[in-house]
Structure formats: C-alpha cells, structure tokens
Structure 1
Amino acid sequence: MTDFLLELRSEEIPARMQAGARTELEKLFRAQMSAAGIEAGDLTIWSTPRRLALIAKGLPQATAAVSEELKGPRSSAPPQALEGFLRKTGLTQDQLEDRDGVYFAVIDKPGRATAEVLAEAIPAIVRGFAWPKSMRWGKESASSESLRWVRPLSGIVAIFGEELVPCEVSGISAGFATRGHRFHCPGEITIGSASDYVEKLRACHVIVDHEERQAIIRDGAAKAAADAGLMLVEDEGLVIENAGLTEWPVPLLGRFDEAFLEVPPEVIQLTARVNQKYFVVNDAAGKLANGFVCTANIDAVDGGAEIVAGNRKVLAARLSDARFFWEQDQKKTLAQHAEKLKNITFHKDLGTVEDKVRRVAKLARWLVERDVVKASENTDQAKVQLGNWAFDAAMQSKADLVTEMVGEFPELQGLMGGYYAHEEELPDSVSDAIRDHYKPVGQGDEIPTAPVTVAVALADKLDTIISFFAIGEKPTGSKDPFALRRSVLGAIAIILTNNLRLSLRQLIENLTSLSPSTDNFAVFEKLYGHGFDDGMTKEDAAEQDKKNLEALSKTIASDTFAFIVDRLKVQQREAGVRHDLIDAVFALGGEDDLVRLLARVKALQAFMATEDGTNLLAGYKRAANILKQAGEASPSRLREGLGEGMSDAASDETGPPPTPPASGRGELDPAEAALLTALDAAEPAASAAVADERFTDAMAALASLRAPIDAFFDGVMVNDPDEAVRAYRLGLLARFTGAVHGVADFSKIEG
C-alpha cells in the first residue's frame, strides 16, 4: 500500500472559497478512484491561500483484474442485432457464450497500475473543478476550451510513493517542485514523498494545515490581548478568514486613538472586522478598548512594529469615516431622516417604506388599545402612554435606513436608530423599540419582552406577512424571497414568549384593511378572480366593491392564518413535539389563540406519555371502529337508534351526543351503569377545565374514563341481538368518543 500526494498551486485563492474547494477536491478524487475500482480510504485535504493539497494513504499499487459480463441478443435474433453487439464488445461470435438461446459476452479486464490511473485522474479533476467564480488567463484564454481556474494555476505536484505521476494540464506538467512562503522562501522546494511534504513546507514558512493555522490565530490573538491586560472579542468566522489569508500567521496587537471610542462599539467592531479583518478587544470591565489584533503573514525582524503602525494608519482612516458618518447623521432628528422614506419603494404593489411605517404604527397602537400588549401599570394613563410610545417608535423605526452609517453598514439597521434616538433623548422605551424591533431575526436570537418593543416588533412582522399575502406573494417550495417564513417564526416567538392572548385569525382579517392592496384593482383581478362589471350602475358597483373587499379580506386572512399555523406545526415538530399530537389538537378547529393551542398540545403530550393515556387511546380507537362499522352497516338505523341529533364516530359532527333512553329495557348491566356514571362526571369536568384552560385537569377527567371503558368492553357485547340494547350501547360509545373529542381529536393520534 502506497501514499499519494497531490498539490495544486495557484495565485491567491479567496478565503471564502477554500472550504468549498477542499470539499470539491475530495469529491472529485473519490469519484475518479471509484470509477477505476480503487477504494480511496483515508484522505487528508488542506488549503492555504496559494495551494490545495491532498494526501491519500494506503492506495494499492495496481487495480484488481475484473470480469465484466454483458447480455446480448437472442441467438435467433436478426443478424444486424448480433453484428451491433459484436461491435460494442469488440469480440467475435465464437467468443460469445450461448446460454439457453441468449448470447453473453464475458470481457476480462486486466488490472492497471495505480500510477497510470492517477495520471489520467489528475487532469480530469483539475478540469472538472467547480469554483463559484473562475477565470482564464494567458494567450490560451482566447479559446473557450482553455482551462478555467479560480486564479492562474502555476504548479502541480503529484507523487505516488516516491515516484512522480507524469501528467500535464494546460501546459503545466506535474513535478516534484513546489514553492514555500512568498517572502521568506520564494524559491523552489523539492518534495520527496507525501511523508515529508508538511515538514518541508513548514521549514519554508508555510503551515499547510488550515486547522493548525486557525489554532495559531485563535490562541495567538487571545495571548496578544491578554499580555496587554485586555480580552479578545472572540470571532470564529474571523479566525477562519484570517487563516485563509495567511500561510504563516503572526497575530499582533495594535492601538488606535481613544477619541474614536465615542463612536458606538458595534461600528468600531464592524469597521475593523469587515474592512480590515481585525479582531477587537475589551478592557477588564468588558467595554470596548482602543486596541485591535491584526494577523501578519510574516515573521518581521522588528517584531511587527512597522506592520502594526501601517495597520493603525489604515484603521484610523476607516474610523475617521465612521466618526464622520456618526456626527453627520446626528445633525438631523430621526423624524427628519424619516421624511426620506417616502422616496424609497418598499414594493411596487405595497407603496413606499413610509407607507409601511404608517401601517406598522397604526397596528402597534391597535395592539395596545386592544390589550394584546399590556402596559406594566394597569391604568388608562399608562395604556395611552404605551400606545403613544409604540406609535412614535414605529414611525421612526426605519429612519436609520437613510442614514450615512447604515448606508455604509447595512448590518447596523435598527441598532443605529436606537443609538440616534438615545442621543436625541427620546424615551428609553422608544429608543429600545427602534433598536430591537427587527428581533428575533433567527433561531437563538433574543426575543423582545419590553411592551413597546413587543408592540412594534410584532406589528412590523404581521404587516409584512399580511401585506405580501394580500398581493399574492406567498412562499412556494424553497422560494421565499421576502423572508416571510422568518417573519412568521419571529411573530410566533414574540406571541408565545410574551404570552400574548389574541384571536389571530380575527386580527389578520381586521388588518387587511390596512393593506394598500385592498383598493388596488389589479390585486382584485389577481387574487379574487375578477374585477368590476363595467355595465353596473354606480350604486351597484359600490356594493360589489364592498362585497369584493369583504371576500378578499376573508381569503387573505384564511391563507395567512393557514400559513402561520403550518409554520407553528413545523416549529413544534422540530422542538420534539409529536406531529400526531399537534394534529389532534389543531384538528378541533375554531382555535386561533396560539398560547392556548400550545398549552393544550403540551398537556396532551404529557397525558399520552402515561399508562392512562395509552389505554384510553386504545379504548377510543376500539369504540370508534365499532361505531364506524355499525354506521357503515346501517347508517340510518344507527342514527335512529342513537336518537334525534345524535352523531356517530364516522360523522364529522362534534360534541358529546346524549345517551338514548333505556325505556323498554330492564336494569342496566353493571358495566353500562359504571360507564354512564363515569361519563356524567367526566364530561362536565373536562368541559369546564377546557373552558378555564386547565388542560391538565381536562386530561385527568378523561383519565377517569379509562377503567369504565375497559370494563365495558370486557363485560358487555355491544352488538347485542336486541336492537334497543345495541342502540343504547352504541350511544354510550358515541357519548364516550364525543367526551374525548371535547379535549382533542384522538382519531389523529397514532398507536
């Protein structure tokens, strides 16, 4: 078994492409080896800015001989079919095997030297490489057939064992020579085998292992900060990026003018990170300090003093720009900045950003007025103040979009608005709401809990969802260009975290009137299917207009609510809640209070984890099956026997049916009497518990039915020959299933 080394050397590979390139190299190499019948087991793949390297350990010296069998035409087939098969296989007729009237060709393929396989594979790998962006270069670039690579390819090292694998790609021949560090060791290095590759490069100031470089940067940056009494602000993405920019990383600490610290710390960190790839540091109190850590690519003779000085100048220029933006933006109030929002289109069918802001402001105040979001103090004055703050915060929430700072750093939207509001001495609740109204923006993000922020954040997300549904821009499959799924998950998180009690369907239906789509004729034709009849009188057209608006609002509300519920189901399944239990509660219908819905789901999940829950489910399914069979056998007689207005388990009706009278019968069977008594107690108890949202108590009431239903099935024959007895017992079962359905639709539960 022999090791193989492949190095593809080029001009600088962008750091962001290196991880993908390593994956692509492994995929292509394994595919080439597999096609040749070689199992490529242990692969090590590294990258630096100037090279991709692969080491395959334990490859065989040669591939094994194989025998391939091909089925041909029948021996009675026309001569043309046989001739075609012979051309395909390269054999003669006497070399074929006749098996029960069918020709077979057995082709023995001898083994090949692995070095020969590798020589063919390397050009195929290089030419088949998929880069996000690639280029052609040199005179050959005039032809579309010339090699494309991320940057000009300059060298190939291909060594199998200690032997060169001879191959050539676009005029570049494989050899034993590579090059070391561009400055420390620019000359050629001769590699003897895969075993000495890493150490020979290390001796020439190249650390080929990207993970080792990451560790050097991670630990070295932390040490440089600690040595100065500071703490590094950890940034793993920046660690990986710096490792992709250097072959010999050397972290160095520098300082910048303390005067720049008057700029918000997030601005300084983004300036250092995005523009210069620097780490920032905190002081002992955890506040941003006037320090940075840059990553040099050389061992400087002066310890890096000149490198730090140069980087300090560049950073100072960047921070000067940031301070200029900070000062310029504060020359206007947020309200003045917000005036420019009328010039920015939010969506061609939804008006400007100013239009959206006004809708959000109205909705935020509405949420307060309807007590969805409550003030910390339960007084009329506190409620009015909360509504006013929510309105003001919403009106200025997008103002920072037109500031210089957010124009430079879009990532700071919202955050800068909060800073500017604070500098303007707006109430803290308003500035905090402006800062945090985009939250949560993803899984694990902070969820707002301050009342003003909750009102604005929820209003912003609901407006986005409803508005885009109103113009028919719904997510389809994997496409969600307006991030509506994210908005829905954010709204759900805010509602559940803050225990907001609201009728979501009614809220959505009411809010469609705030959407500009409701007076847009084109939207009527797109969503509702038709517009106005030109032959109508003015009065009739106005009436039709009203009907269309009402119908459109209901359609939008229904579609939007269904989408929100679907996202909630997905979220709960991902959180570990059984999908059948979610369906069992959601199938009840008529429930659009998300807090109450999930409380019922959690209570059902806890109940079904108990022995009572499992056994009650078994009893329910048995009862439902008996009722279904009885209904299929004679549905009219079943309903007649069950009594006026009564339902069976096969029907879509809900609610517990009454028990048929036992007139004309003797005494009840003990099992019948026990079940009847249990139902008389359990039904009102479960119903009252559900009404009071004591869902655990409702489950406990259902649990009391477990023993009586088990005893009923053990003690009586439901399908008694006597019609009156049979009808009474079926009625008891129908009442039992109805009582269970008052809590959840057990027919949806698996088991």
Structure 2
Amino acid sequence: MNTKNLLVELFVEELPPKALKNLGEAFTQGLLKGLQAAGLAGADAVATPFASPRRLAAHVTAVAAQAADREQLVKLMPVAVALDAEGQPTPALLKKLGALGADASVLPQLQRRPDGKAEALFLQSTLRGAALAEGLQKALDDTLAKLPIPKVMSYQLADGWSSVNFVRPAHALVALHGADVVPVQALGLQAGRATHGHRFEAAADPVQLRDADGYAPQLQEEGAVIASFADRRADIARQLQEAAAREGLQPIEDEALLDEVTALVERPNVLTCQFEKEFLEVPQECLILTMKANQKYFPLLDAAGRLTHRFLVVSNIRPDDASAVVQGNERVVRPRLADAKFFFDQDRKKTLASRVPALAKVVYHGKLGTQGQRAERVQAIGHAIVNQLRLATVPYTVEAKDEFDVLDSKVREAALLAKTDLVTDMVGEFPELQGIMGGYYARHEGLRDGVAIAIEDHYKPRFAGDVLPRNHTGTVLALADKLETLVGLFGIGQLPTGDKDPFALRRHALGVIRLLVEKNLPLALPELLAQAVPPFGELVTNPVAPLQDFMFDRLAVSLREQGYSAQEVDAVLALRPERLGQVPKRLAAVRAFSGLPEAAALAAANKRIANILKKSAEPAPAAVNAELLREPAEQALASQLRAVQPGADSLFEQGEYTASLQALAALKAPVDAFFDHVMVNAEDAALRANRLALLSALHAAMNRVADLSRLAQ
C-alpha cells in the first residue's frame, strides 16, 4: 500500500492556556483513531501532537491515499422469509437486495448459514476502501466534535450569515498528505497549505508549508514558532535553569505553571528581572503566590530555599535589546508586591483573638452554620481526641497527665484561632494562603510554642504527597478539622457522587487515613468518628456507619495504588481493623505468609471452613468438648491448635503479626488430615456441634491478623 505522512493543522485565535495541552493531545489522538477506523492508518502509525497558543496540529505517519477494500458478510433475512415454497425469492428479499445495491443476479452467490435456531441468507460483498479525503473528513469532524473544550463560543463566518461553535475562532486549515493538499473542510474553512507564524517575528507571512514532514522545522525557521508543546516546554525549562544558574540561584519548581507558560508563548525567551529587597519582609508564600498566579513569573530561590528579590519572566519575543521588556515586567510586578505588603502590615495591627467574633458572620454551610460555630465544633472534637489519646496511654503517670493537659490546652487555643485568618485582608485576596498566614500572624503575636505551627499545619495534608503536621497539637487539630468536615457533610447527606466531590471529601478522608497510619496513632476509627458527632447536636443525622465504609473504601484504593495486591488488601481490610496504624504491619505479615509453602492450602481450608460455618443451620458451641473428639484426625487438630494458638495469640498481642501468622503454618498437616478423614456433618447432633465448635475455634485463631480465606485462589 502506497503511504505518505499526513499533517493536519487548525490555526485559531489564542486558545485557553490551561486547556491547551489536553486539546492538542485529544486533537491528535482523535485524528489517529479516526484514520485507523477508516483503514487509512495501521496500528503502528505514529501520531505526533503539536499545540501552540494559536494552533492545534497532528502529524501521522504512513497514511494511505486509499484504504484497502474489505470483504464483508451481510445478513439479509431468515430463509423462511426470503424464499417462497418453490424456493424463489420473495419481494422482501428483492427489496433488501436493492437497498444494498444488488439484484436477483446475486441469488446464486447467497450463502445459507445457521442463525440461532433458524437458517438465514447472507450476502458476501466487497466494501470499497475509503479515499483519504473521505476518511479524513469524517475523522476531522468527529475529532472536533469530541474535543474537551472547557467553554464553547459561537462566532460568525466570513459570509456574514453562517456561524459555528468552537473554542476560539478558526482562521486557517492545513491538510497535507506528503506534499499534496487533501481537500477537506472544517469550521467553514477549506484546507490548504498556508499557515501563520509568530505575530511579530515571523520571517514570512503566510508560511506556505512545503510538505507534512517539514512542518515543525519550516514553521520554526520562517514563522519563528516552536510548534511542539513538548519541545517548547523543554526549551523553557532549559532556559530557566540556565538563567537561574547565572545568578547562582534556582527557579521554583511548579509543573502546572510551566505548562501554563508553555501554552502562552510561541517563541520563549527567558529574562531575569528583580524587585526591591524591602518586599522580602513580606512572607515569601505571599510574594511567590502573587508572582506565579497573577504574573506567571518564576521566583528565584537561594540554596536554602529562601525567596530572593530576583525572578524570571518567559517573554514571547526576542528583541536585540530586552531592557524594555525587563523594565516593563518589573514595573508591573511592583504594585502587586506593594499590595501584598500593605495587606500584611494591616493584618498585623489586629490580633487573631480579636477576629474570633467576625467568624460568626462568615457562613460555612447553609445547614451547618458559620465558621464560628465550626471552630467550636473543631475545638470539641480536638478535646475528645486528646482524651482518647489519654485513655490509650498505659501506664498513666502524673507526667503523662501534665503532658495531656498542656496538649489539650494548646489544641483548644489553636482550634479557636485556626480559622481567623479567613477574615484577614491577605487571605481575602489570596484564599490559597489560609492557614499559612494564620501561622505567620500567630508567630508575630508571640503565641506559645506549638500553637502557631498547629494553626499553620491544620490543613495538612492538603494534597496527595503533602507533608503531615509537624507537632502533636497540629496533628490533633488537623484530625479534628477533617473529621468535622466529613461528619458534618455526611451528616446532611452531602456525599461524593461519581467524579463529583465539591467539598473534597475524598481528600479529607485520605488526610485522616494518612494521619492515623503514618503517625501510627493509638486511636480506634469507630470511636474517633463517633466522638465527632455530638458537637453537631441536632444539625446532622448520625453518619458513622456510611462514613466508616467510605473511609475503608478510600483506604483500599490508596493501598492498591501503593502496590499491594487486591487480595492482600481485601484480606486485611475484611476484618475492619480499628487502628489504621496497624494496617501496614498486617499487610506485610500477609505478604510474608503468602510466600510460605503452607499458605495456599491453609487459605483454601480457611475458605472451606468459612463456608461450612456460614451454611450451618445451628450456631457452633462456644467451646470444644474434648470427650466428643472421637476421630484421630480431629483429636490431632485440636491438640495442635492448643499447642499453636497461645504462641500465635501472644505474638499478635505484641504486634508481631508476621510471626503470628507464620506460627499457624504448623496447622497445615492436621487441617488437611481433618478434612480427609472427618465428616463434619455427622448424623450425631452432639458430634456435629462439637466439630463445628472446633472449626469455629480454628477459624478465629487463623483470622486475627487478616481474613486468610481472601487469599484463596
């Protein structure tokens, strides 16, 4: 088959930067799949995306001018309907053939084949392969219709009458098969070979593309545009590192910002700028945020990670003298930094405590009250968590009492003040700084040790991979804050659905899980959830049961993402361990047990035992009667269980889960012998009940660490 490489480009007005990367990839993959579906491109065809602020393009290798013909077998109708009693074609058959472009002359070629319980007629025909213009037109139409456009706009075409809908107005369409133009159209445009380069620095306008393969180099040479998103991004990253190195500094790492800037420029040129050092008195988070969010600048950090007064700008032009561009950016950023300094200075004139009454005027949720009421609930939940930790501490000494009293006092103070930065000017301008600014203002006031850190850390972890709170007060406060959110919203029925989670409850649940697991806190999840309900009073319906299910679902997803198998996760979580901090050790024990030679047989036996106990019409007695153990195999199993169980239980209580499970390996031989030689469902009711008691005791002993039946194949 004669093939050439294909290029399709849609030239448009400036595309939304945050959507550009996805638009470029979707455009390319859509065209590739459409061409493959039409038989014009093979499975090994390579598609390369191009995306710049004013273009979406795709380069596809080995595209045929004409798809190969295909043989197809078309079902016509049942024989009983197609032929009359004499075997002649019925009018229904002739009509069907006519609709397919055939006539009675093909009757001898029709095939009889079974079709369910009846027999049907089939027509073998040749389906002519699609021409490139036809196949590409369909692929292009389908691709444009399915693009992940964040917001569609409607605009008028040049004829003054027609209008089309697209993400931005389109002005040119290119479709080249090798060096030949493919006659397709889209958005009111006819395909050609002309495109446009950089608005100001193109050497030629329009750029007349010679062929598909020369697209990127020709556009860069004549149009001053790096068409590839990936190449442009890599070029910006390289320039950022080189510019920072010249200053002995390092650019801030922000993949999302790098993507956005890549989507804003066609010919990147990184320049070094600076601002007055006096602005460094403002917390660096404020300065970094305003430079990144408002100006798309890259702040420069020193070796210790501290912000400096220098920053990098990615310009879209490369003048011989860039001083005007540098001065312009320095002039633009100065008022932004001055605003941040003004907010910071003004906010420090009031204490956090003086802002507490203002929280009563800030609505948190229509059904859950104000931020002031929320702060009171977080305070109460934090107090309950401290008490739960207090009860888990054994032995409880005078020193421990003093420690917990101090912790309780700090948690109460931090909980009362943690949300007050929501009513500061700085957080009003930059909501992303909530918590962070509270910590700065608390330190400025000289609040006691640990409270300021707790206020700053109480939102942590904010996202996957984020660090955890740094001290005990912050840990308790973060737990209380997330539990308040989860219990409150679950309690009023605001549950996540599908991919919609407007209150980020999945993230809050994972935050609670990480705090309990990674801090290995001695807190029981059911009790933790139950204690978070009373502070809401009559506002909520008790959500502990569905919330606990939700938490274990999120934990299961998280563990599988960490590399644990579904069987390992199911085995451990089937027991619903109350202390989530034990889960990693239980998983390690299950993995080690699975490697034992006896593991498969014991897991299978465990599953068999579970089924027997489940199907039994009568409950198993609480204890085994040794006098009713008649068969040698059941006597041996009972004896071995008495020998193994104390050691396994002791190891379990010590948290030695791996050793506890491994101790059970000695049960394999007697368990196998029991099932080979003992009839559980004996006719004698007393014997049957005693054997069920033995199996129940065995089942309980084997499933303290995990439900081993979940490991059975």
CA displacement at 1:370 relative to structure 2: 3.7
Q: Does 1:290 align with 2:309?
A: yes
Count of aligned residue pairs for this structure pair: 689
Verify the 8 A CA contact 2:29 2:47 in the aligned structure 1: no
Q: Does 1:53 align with 2:57?
A: yes
Q: Which of 306, 326, 337 pairs up with 2:344?
A: 326
Counterparts of 2:553 and 2:134 in 1: how far apart (Å)? 56
Tell which deviates more after alignment, 4-13 or 434-443: 4-13
CA displacement at 1:166 relative to structure 2: 3.0
Q: Does 1:571 align with 2:537?
A: no
Q: Does 1:446 align with 2:471?
A: no
CA displacement at 1:9 relative to structure 2: 1.1
Counterparts of 1:395 and 1:338 in 2: how far apart (Å)? 7
Q: Name the structure 2 match of 1:39.
A: 41
Verify the 8 A CA contact 1:341 1:353 in the aligned structure 2: yes
Q: Name the structure 1 match of 2:115.
A: none
CA displacement at 1:261 relative to structure 2: 0.6
Secondary structure of the residue aligned to 1:444 is coil
Q: Name the structure 2 match of 1:226.
A: 245
- Matched residue type, 1:393: A
Q: Name the structure 1 match of 2:297.
A: 278
Secondary structure of the residue aligned to 1:354 is helix
CA displacement at 1:325 relative to structure 2: 1.2
Tell which deviates more after alignment, 127-136 or 507-516: 127-136
Q: Name the structure 1 match of 2:353.
A: 335
- Matched residue type, 2:255: E
What are the residue-to-residue correspondences of 1:548-627 with 2, within 5 Å?
Answer: 553=542, 556-588=543-575, 592-596=578-582, 599-620=585-606
Q: Name the structure 2 match of 1:312.
A: 330
Secondary structure of the residue aligned to 1:251 is strand
| CA distance 1:92–1:166, shift in 2 (3 Å) | same
Counterparts of 2:681 and 2:237 in 1: how far apart (Å)? 80
CA displacement at 1:446 relative to structure 2: 0.7
What are the residue-to-residue correspondences of 1:395-414 with 2, within 5 Å?
Answer: 395-414=416-435
Larger Rg: 1
Q: Which of 9, 12, 28 pairs up with 2:11?
A: 9
CA displacement at 1:124 relative to structure 2: 6.2
- Matched residue type, 1:198: A
| CA distance 1:737–1:689, shift in 2 (3 Å) | same
CA displacement at 1:332 relative to structure 2: 1.3
Secondary structure of the residue aligned to 2:389 is coil
Counterparts of 2:416 and 2:682 in 1: how far apart (Å)? 75
- Matched residue type, 2:199: R
Tell which deviates more after alignment, 264-273 or 561-570: 561-570
| CA distance 1:102–1:474, shift in 2 (3 Å) | closer
Q: Name the structure 1 match of 2:105.
A: 94
Tell which deviates more after alignment, 390-399 or 278-287: 278-287
Counterparts of 2:160 and 2:496 in 1: how far apart (Å)? 43
Secondary structure of the residue aligned to 1:157 is strand
Q: Name the structure 1 match of 2:31.
A: 29
Q: Name the structure 2 match of 1:155.
A: 172
- Matched residue type, 2:483: L
- Matched residue type, 1:515: F
Counterparts of 2:135 and 2:682 in 1: how far apart (Å)? 82
Counterparts of 1:731 and 1:206 in 2: how far apart (Å)? 79
Secondary structure of the residue aligned to 1:431 is helix
CA displacement at 1:283 relative to structure 2: 2.5
Task: Please list the CA deviations of residues 572-623 of structure 1 after superposition, one character each: whole Å capped at 9, or x if unmatched.
Answer: 333344444555555557x533334654454344333322444433554566
| CA distance 1:394–1:729, shift in 2 (3 Å) | closer
Q: Does 1:359 align with 2:380?
A: no
Q: Name the structure 1 match of 2:198.
A: 181
Verify the 8 A CA contact 2:517 2:583 in the aligned structure 1: no
Counterparts of 1:397 and 1:300 in 2: how far apart (Å)? 50
- Matched residue type, 2:201: H
Counterparts of 1:200 and 1:376 in 2: how far apart (Å)? 79
Q: Name the structure 2 match of 1:650.
A: none
Q: Name the structure 2 match of 1:242.
A: 261
Secondary structure of the residue aligned to 1:155 is strand
| CA distance 1:689–1:43, shift in 2 (3 Å) | closer
Specify every segment of 5 or more residues in structure 1 that has no aligned partner in the other structure, as ranges: 528-552, 640-645, 648-654
Verify the 8 A CA contact 1:659 1:735 in the aligned structure 2: no
What are the residue-to-residue correspondences of 1:655-670 with 2, within 5 Å?
Answer: 657-661=623-627, 669=632
| CA distance 1:107–1:413, shift in 2 (3 Å) | same
Counterparts of 1:720 and 1:561 in 2: how far apart (Å)? 38
Q: Does 1:684 align with 2:635?
A: no
- Matched residue type, 1:177: A
Verify the 8 A CA contact 1:119 1:165 in the aligned structure 2: no
Counterparts of 1:139 and 1:34 in 2: how far apart (Å)? 31
| CA distance 1:593–1:121, shift in 2 (3 Å) | closer
CA displacement at 1:222 relative to structure 2: 1.3
Verify the 8 A CA contact 1:397 1:414 in the aligned structure 2: yes
Secondary structure of the residue aligned to 2:350 is coil
Verify the 8 A CA contact 1:718 1:726 in the aligned structure 2: no
Q: Name the structure 2 match of 1:207.
A: 226
Tell which deviates more after alignment, 127-136 or 219-228: 127-136
RMSD: 3.4
CA displacement at 1:496 relative to structure 2: 1.9
Task: Please list the CA deviations of residues 420-471 of structure 1 after superposition, one character each: whole Å capped at 9, or x if unmatched.
Answer: 1111211241111111101112221112241110111111111111222222
Taking every aligned residue pair, what percent have the same amino acid on both sides? 35
Question: TM-score scaled to structure 1, two decimals?
Answer: 0.83
Task: Please list the CA deviations of residues 118-154 of structure 1 after superposition, one character each: whole Å capped at 9, or x if unmatched.
Answer: 46755665566552223233466986x6222222211
Verify the 8 A CA contact 1:454 1:494 in the aligned structure 2: yes
- Matched residue type, 2:602: L
Counterparts of 1:330 and 1:24 in 2: how far apart (Å)? 49
Tell which deviates more after alignment, 469-478 or 448-457: 469-478
Counterparts of 2:35 and 2:280 in 1: how far apart (Å)? 57
CA displacement at 1:267 relative to structure 2: 1.1
Counterparts of 1:697 and 1:256 in 2: how far apart (Å)? 62
